Amino acid sequence: MYSKDELKQLKIEFWESFAAYCEVQPYLRHRRKMWILYNTKIKGVELKFDVGRQGAFVILEINHKKEEDRLAMFEKLTWYKKDLEKDIPSGLIWDICYIRESRQQVCRIYLSCEGIDFHRRQDWGQFFSFMAQNMYKLERNFLAIAEYIRE
């Protein structure tokens, strides 16, 4: 079990190690910014990483405060499901009603890699590989349809 400070330090080491891993991946070189994440230029739509004891997650999250706006954006994204899932053989998990720990309701479209634990450093290679490869694909596919979603 980690103390609060030890867990904070572990998270810092994890994200610094992930950034170093991404910098040496051939398919990620020469990018101006490593990931777009919160800068999708679509209100209430973000790309995210999540890691924890339960595994790794690569997420496209719709977090509009208004439920009707959130559901409308989710429906719009379902129109482009085939495009979003391009080059992702297992497909994406489409969750129209995900409840965060903060009790906020959001829509999530995501991939997960379960059975790995953020607290085990020997699992970090699996985390990094899964997260980098799948965020690269999800981000690329999202950017291909983003112009249509903004309309």
Whole-prediction pTM value?
A: 0.92
Reading the chain (151 residues) residue by residue, the pLDDT tens digits are: 688 999 999 999 999 999 999 999 999 988 878 899 999 999 999 999 999 999 999 999 999 999 999 999 999 999 999 999 999 999 999 999 999 989 999 999 999 999 999 999 999 999 999 999 999 999 999 999 999 998 7
Q: Which long-range contacts (CB under 8 A, 24 or more apart) does 7-11 make?
A: 10/118, 10/119
Rg (CA), the chain: 16
